[in-house]
Structure 1
Amino acid sequence: MRLVICRCAVDYEGRLDAHLPEADRLVMVKADGSVSIHADDRAYKPLNWMTPPCTLHEEQPVAEEKDAGVRAVWTVSNPKGEKLTVRLFRIYSDTSHDLGEDPGLVKDGVEAHLQELLAEQIEILGEGYTLVRREYPTAIGPVDILSRDAAGTTVAVEIKRRGGIDGVEQLTRYVELLNRDELLAPVRGVFAAQEIRPQARVLAEDRGFRCVTLDYGQMRGADSTELRLF
């Protein structure tokens, strides 16, 4: 990753034209080729950017640009015909860092731990429930938990820390796909979360799914009276 803190002006040509006047900014060039221009506000959102695949060319400014104080010109283009031109007037810092391969997002452990705990305490879903498998594979991704109820009916469980409509839609896709398997059908759904938003609960129940609120602290034994003196 290359980080350049500089005084620059930026022009974008593509679906529409946009201009950022001369100012102090951070220009970020990532290993995947993406280029983004940042101000010292707006949180993570860049002022302008170019996503890969794109190509960055560093050029010397023409005479007119030199007269205006431009020291270097970066031209970033992509196969769509879009172009981002960065004119650098002054460079305060130019550093490069090899961040290596990123392992990806690792959640805080709550969702993963909820899945693990629920698999171990599957009876939370109801008396007679048994675990078939965690991370049951499907063509569209793994189902958090596949189980069977006391009657032997297959139950797909989608687990979220905070359950929203997106989670219900995800469970819907899983249940529809699993119901095509004659060995599993009929398949019911359970939407389990620490907190289920009202709209998500209404949608889940409308689609025939049962909603279960999980008490993470109790499941991990935080409320256990074991080993307490009083």
Structure 2
Amino acid sequence: MKPLVFTHPPLQVAELLLREAFSKRKLIVMFCRCSVVYEGRSATILGEGDRLVIVKPDGAVLVHRPRGYSPVNWQPDSQLLEAKLEGDVLLVRSLRAKPRELLEIRVSRVDTLIVAEEMVDNAEFQELIDEAEIRDTLARHPELIEPGLRIVTVEKRIEGRGYADIYGVDSQGRHVVIEVKRVTAGREAVEQLRRYVDAWRKENPQAPVRGILVAPSITEPAAKLLEEYGLEFRKLDLKRIRKILEEERKGKKQPSLLSFVKKGGSAG
């Protein structure tokens, strides 16, 4: 990507540059003095001011004021983009067909116009999950750790050592102390789990206990140390966790006021 930068171009020049950029679906960033009129599902007028205008290759148009992160006006896409000089005003129009929406930017001065020749971005977007979400999901779905595991509690207090992420009982009635890591587990994670298990054994000398470290991966030195301590490792499938969270979020429907009234609810 090699952007072309034009500083204080006359409106006649800006008109030609925009027309060419629109026809080739290039990325446009423009710092300008403008007013904005919108007609569609509603109607708005924004008086003149210094603005940042962005036009993306897919036809999305955003108008930003100097403050705040949200655009004051925008179009999610455009069936028609045009630039037309009328007197001392450069009209930049974005038109959508369905629903019909017209965004007209009336530019009186262009301070900087940037045109990007080509942008390539094929990266996958992933929403990161924190350890608390992973822990709680595993607690709701203990089969992801091992079949027959029954969760007793999360954030189990271990006397003198802090809180283990998950505490449960396996299919054979043995106690299980589980430590969860969002990233690759190293020696420190193994040592932490060992301290929890040792403290548990000290408090409950007659009760058999296992220690399981759950993480997406584990370093080789940590894996050797884990085996030396007689602890276990379970590979964490983050994609599976993410899918479960997405499905659970989709399944949560906010109760409507009508359903609340039908149930005889009352507001406090």
Question: Structure 1 length as normaliser, TM-score?
Answer: 0.48
The structure where helix makes up a greater share of residues is: 2
